[in-house]
Structure 1
Amino acid sequence: MLRCALTSSVTFFRRLYFPHNLSPVMARRRKASRPLSTTNPNPRGFVNLENDLYREASNLSAATGANIAVICRRPSGEVRLWGYPSAQDVINRYHRNFRRQISEDSPPVPAVAQAAEARARHYADIRRREEELNGSLPSAAEQIVREHEWMIESLSREIEGVRKLIAEVIAKSGESQSLVEGSNAERGV
């Protein structure tokens, strides 16, 4: 009788404080924790492993009231995130506490400062090299403009050559016109 009362009060407590756990899973008997095997390489095995991990984390959270965040990276590269009350809240609280602990407990470490400066110099060098390359290499638009300018210049030279040729023809025809007019005048036409 005591066991039934205890079980029902635990179930009531879980439903009261952990409403996300209301599911048919509540009716199953608790399996003993076992080590999770990571030797199965197929994706379906990984999904089963992931489900077991989420189940264990959920049971731990429900039993102890702990806030939990689980981050899984699948073989395909996809990252899955689960947590109670929410994974982002747990992660933010962890980072906040970690920063506070570092700033209060330990003085700045010279090696960390040197590493940060070296990293900043490295990225500044990379940015400088990118800017140099961007300035020295013509962009596609600049290259197209140069090609069009060259075509326009060559066409302008061709047009000038044609104009000179037309002027020469007109000059020769003017001479021949004056010769024709002169011969017509001699004939009396």
Structure 2
Amino acid sequence: MMRLAGANDRAIHGDTGEAALRRLALAATKYYVCKRGPVLANEALECLGGNGYIEDFDLARIYRELPLLSIWEGSGNVAALDALRAIGREPESLDAFFGEAELALGADARYDDAVSSLKKELTQFDDIELRARRLVEQIAVVFQAGLLLRHAPTAVADAFCATRLARDWGSAFGTLPAGLDLAPLLERTEPGF
């Protein structure tokens, strides 16, 4: 989100490359957040049990309100087609996106494969509307992975790539591969006293 905020700031001041990136990345991010937000809130409720569900706890309100995102922003199909519209009407948005993606190439083979696969998918225009949701999800995940590979601790980026890019782990949280080093991830959750 901060990368998009930065792109927005630079676009306002005349940076056409950042404006192009913002156009596609924002559409893909809106789609992804609208789809994943309610699922994340549900997982958080499960972790907290009954305490998370009672109205005295803020999470109950968040859980109730997250589905409103897709009502405000439009259905999943509308959001996915908006991203495709950005690619069709503003081809420079796709160039800007892949320019951003290329900044992380070489950092992780799974990421490199995902970028290559996405490029191939976006050159096949037959039935692209039917594949819109999956394509836009891939755009959002590649965008996230690239940023994590460039700016996050290695363990965080590795876990993300292992669970989002390596193979289809499904949409549930916590579907981790064997051998993933969890210690650095768990250490990040401890208070820094």
- TM-score when scaled to structure 2? 0.22
Larger Cα-atom Rg: 1
- TM-score when scaled to structure 1? 0.23
Name the structure, 1 or 2, with higher relative contact order (CA <8 Å, separation 6+).
2
